[in-house]
Structure 1
Amino acid sequence: MNSSPPLSNLLRLAAAMIIITLSVYWMIFLRGLLVPILISVLLSILVSPITIQLEEKGLSKIASIILTIVLFLGLIAGIIYFATMQISDMLDVWPDLKRKGTLWFTQLQNWAYRLFGLRPQSQITKLQEMSMAFLSGGGSAALLKTTSTLADVILIPLYMFFMLYYRSFFCEFVYKVMAKSEKQRVNTVLFRICDVVHNYLSGLFIVMVIVGSLNTISLLILDINYAVFFGFFAALLLLIPYIGVLIGSLLPILMAFITKDSPMYGVGVAGAFLFIQFLEGNFITPYIVGSKISINPLVAIIGLLLGGVIWGIAGMMLSLPMIAILKVVFDHSESLKPFGYLIGEPVREESRRVVEEHTAENPELITDEVADSVKEAI
């Protein structure tokens, strides 16, 4: 008996692998085009309610869009101005920080020599070798990336304007592409995508404000210099899921070790940030964002790593909302529903399935309004 898989299955698998390989290649090749467009799409969805409200108040469509983008850019400019002022203040005291940092580094060298037998000169040589390796690798591309970033800063508001202006046109395009599907189903998918993206990004902003405030309070209690800057800088790195806050905590920890006489201040900063990270991951984010985006943590981590490999830091920031969008599409396609189940959180997906089965078997026991409320809650 021949137990080998049918030829058609092998051909489908081969075709899928070829499509995935080509897609990844073109995603890497077109990074400079795709990343700002995707960022613009997400930001347009985020600010679209403001544009709609302004239009309802009597402003023209163009005026509403321009005012929305100006307000958004004003917020970003305010954040950049505050960060620039803080960095400028740090540069004023840089000689003192450098002197204390040199002393702290010397003490660290002596500690390493006593503990591991590493001579100070060999440590310096090793650090120089690592620095040269970094500069000869990815570090030397910093100037090109900066130039690309400046171009993106100009293009993203322009993309946002046209996406907001032609939003109805793009919806009509989707209807024509999905002509064989029911228009109600297409409407549901589009609404769910916009709802997930908007609630995720707005919820993430609220989480960043809360975490930034907690970080700042903890740093002020420990009397760490530039507490507001370091606290909200670490919170801003929540844009990079899981590892962002850990990276952001390194600067205030280093500042505590350099500027304070006792190393316990650095330990205190690390402990405070670790506790805040625990609160953020287990209570703050699940309460504010968790009800709107249910993604399997394993899938989220894999997506984070893949995004980093394909598009670098931008890919890591875009990974979670893109996975959430894919889940919405998968959940509303009969052939792709298993993949939507795989992406979602097992407990929440099982709860959703039980509710749907119970509703189907006992329609007289639960109204449509109650069913919708329960499904939304889980």
Structure 2
Amino acid sequence: MNNMPLSVRRSLEVMGLFFLGWIIVLGKGLLTPLLLAFFISIMLLPVYRFFHKRRVPEALAIVLSLLLLGIAVGLVVWFFSSQIANLIQDFPVIQKNVTNHLNALSAWIESKTPYSSEEQLRFINEQSNKLLGFAGNLLTGAAGSVTSVLILLGLLPIYIFLVLFYRNLLLRFVFLWFPRDSHEKVEETLREMQVIIKSYLFGLLIQVSYMTVLLGGILLIIGIKHALLIGLIFAFLNLIPYVGALLGNIIGVLLTLASSSELWPILVVLGTIAGVQFLDNNILMPRIVGSKVKINALATIVGVIVGGEIAGIAGMFLSLPIIAVLKVIFDRSEPFKQWGVLFGDERPGRSPMEVPILRRKSERVREKLEAENKIEPPHK
């Protein structure tokens, strides 16, 4: 392949990416639980090793790790369910507040526009009928979605168990793909991937915990109703880069608006979310996760959208760690280094049009750009 003309090689790369994307779209039902199982397995490795070092049989150590994971997930589900139950208990108050807000909005529209309240009501009824029709179509496919989720939840623990149990076999399979003189680089790449995935995913777990406690606690002290629910929803949605924070703000405002007859709590919620998010983005998260791999904003947004189109919410959550893994592989693979540059945030201070050395796939140039952008080498 090295003897091929450059244009042919680039054409083959683009064709390969196209067919890879096609395979991913066709096989998303199989690939999504496998990828989730792979990432969760890496997170469970320290727990498994803790039990295994104490001479617990291998299969039992994996089962105990899965049991602890199930307990943690069960506690989160219980906490979320209890907060939803509190929200349902306040439904009469919420209905009254929503009615008051809608009446106030209708009066404001009537004073600023030529549309009377009767015309507004007629418009709302027309849109409601369309919405009900859309909801009917949506519910038609909901049964299939619920079935898919149940199948995913049923397969996930099995996949996690098998990935942990056959991890050495899978590693041997990876090494057998490469010639012996490349094994050192393959080992280095695999170790870097493990460090990056663990630091990223454990960082996200810590982030969800302190965002829920910090945001929910502050709102609770101020006196905002359903403060912990707002904190929990925002913490989980914040895991989706860029898009999640926007959705979290919208849901926080809607919950506050429905739970209060006044408007000042909305400003408090927005201000608190902005303050907590600033603290998270600039102080807490960089110290917890570190900066071993930086993905640029363009690649992140495109990855989240593509992941959402392919596999829904699960794809949006998985997009960033998958891009991080691909970047590590591309950076260590000579034919694909340009793709690692495309995903990364090693932004040159000057244009490659002016500085010819920036046009090269030089390791020294990459390390210099990483240092300029304060990216730590992941060799740990």
The TM-score normalised by the length of structure 1 is 0.86
Counterpart of 1:291 in 2: which secondary structure? coil
Q: Which residue of 2 aligns with 1:280?
A: 280
The residue identity in structure 1 corresponding to 2:207 is V
Please, which moves more after superposition, 317-326 or 116-125? Answer: 116-125
> 1:208-219, aligned counterparts within 5 Å?
208-219=208-219
Assess if the C-alpha contact under 8 Å between 1:24 and 1:310 holds in 2: no
Amino acid at match of 1:225: K
Question: CA shift at 1:246, angstroms?
Answer: 2.3
Instruction: Identify if the C-alpha distance between structure 1 residues 218 and 189 changes in structure 2 by more than 3 Å, giving closer, same or farther.
Output: same
- 1: CA distance, partners of 2:266 / 2:46: 43
More divergent stretch after superposition (106-115 vs 63-72): 106-115
- More helix as a share of residues: 1
Pick aligned residue for 1:22 from 10, 16, 19 = 19
Secondary structure at 2:238 match in 1: helix
Say which structure, 1 or 2, has more relative contact order (CA 8 Å, 6+ apart). Answer: 2
Q: Which residue of 2 aligns with 1:245?
A: 245
Q: Tell whether 2:157 aligns with 1:157.
A: yes
Which residue number in structure 2 is paired with residue 131 of structure 1?
Answer: 131
Measure, in 2, the Cα distance between the counterparts of 1:354 and 1:173. 33
Greater alpha carbon shift after TM alignment, 77-86 vs 217-226: 217-226
Which residues in structure 2 correspond to 1:81-100 (within 5 Å)?
Answer: 81-100=78-97
Letter matched to residue 318 of structure 1 = L
| Residue equivalent to 2:184 | 184
Q: What does 1:1-378 correspond to in 2, within 5 Å?
A: 8-118=5-115, 119-125=119-125, 127-128=127-128, 131-132=131-132, 134-135=134-135, 140-347=140-347, 353=364, 356=367, 375-376=377-378
Cα 1:126–1:286 change in 2 (3 A) is: farther
User: Which ranges in structure 1 are unaligned for 5 or more consecutive residues?
Assistant: 1-6, 359-372
Q: By how many angstroms is 1:287 displaced?
A: 2.5
Structure 1 residue 174, shift from structure 2 partner: 0.6
Structure 1, residues 84-108: CA drift from partner, whole Å, max 9, x if none? 1221222222223222222222222
> Are the structure 2 counterparts of residues 376 and 14 from structure 1 closer, same or farther at C-alpha, using a change threshold of 3 Å?
closer
Residue 355 of structure 2 aligns with which residue?
none
Residue 193 of structure 1 aligns with an amino acid whose one-letter code is M
Q: 1:357 to 1:81 in 2, by over 3 A?
A: closer
Deviation, structure 1 residue 322: 0.2
Q: Secondary structure at the match of 1:282?
A: helix
Give the percent of matched residue pairs that are identical in Structure 1 and Structure 2. Answer: 29
Residue ranges of structure 2 left out of the alignment (5+ in a row): 350-357, 370-374
Contact 1:238 1:244 in 2 (8 A): yes
CA distance in 2, matches of 1:64, 1:114: 68
Question: In structure 2, do the counterparts of structure 1 residues 163 and 183 end up closer, same or farther at CA, with 3 Å as the change threshold?
Answer: same
User: Residue 294 of structure 2 aligns to a residue in which SS?
Assistant: coil
Q: Give the AA of the match of 2:107.
A: N
**Matched residues in 2 for 1:281 and 1:126: separation?**
43
Residue number in structure 1 paired with 2:372: none
Distance 2:259 2:242 in 1: 28
CA contact (8 A) 1:308 1:314 kept: yes
Q: Which amino acid aligns with 1:257?
A: L
Letter in 2 for 1:166: Y
* Displacement of 1:215: 1.2
- Computed over aligned residues only, the root mean square deviation of the Cα atoms, in angstroms, reads 2.8
CA displacement at 1:168 relative to structure 2: 0.8
Aligned residues: 357
- Deviation of 1:21 after TM superposition, in Å, equals 2.5
Measure, in 1, the Cα distance between the counterparts of 2:147 and 2:299.
33
Structure 1 contact 40–156 (Cα < 8 Å) conserved: yes
Give secondary structure in 2 for the equivalent of 1:103: helix
Work out whether residues 224 and 252 of structure 1, in 8 Å CA contact, stay in contact via their aligned partners in 2: no
C-alpha offsets along residues 85-136 of structure 1, whole Å, 9 cap, x if unaligned? 2212222222232222222222222223333444322441353155246436
CA contact (8 A) 2:304 2:316 kept: yes
Residue by residue over 1:325-369, the C-alpha shift from the partner in whole angstroms, topping out at 9 and shown as x without a partner, is 00110111122223223322125999x9469579xxxxxxxxxxx
- In 2: Cα distance, 1:357 partner to 1:106 partner: 61
Q: How does the TM-score come out when normalised to structure 2?
A: 0.85
Contact conserved, 1:291 with 1:377, CA < 8 A, in 2? no
- 1:142 is displaced (CA, Å) by 2.4
Instruction: Determine the C-alpha separation between the residues in 2 that align with 1:73 and 1:303.
Output: 29
Once the two structures are overlaid, the 10-residue window that deviates more, 209-218 or 40-49, is 209-218
Amino acid at match of 1:38: L
Structure 2 distance, partners of 1:76, 1:212, is 15
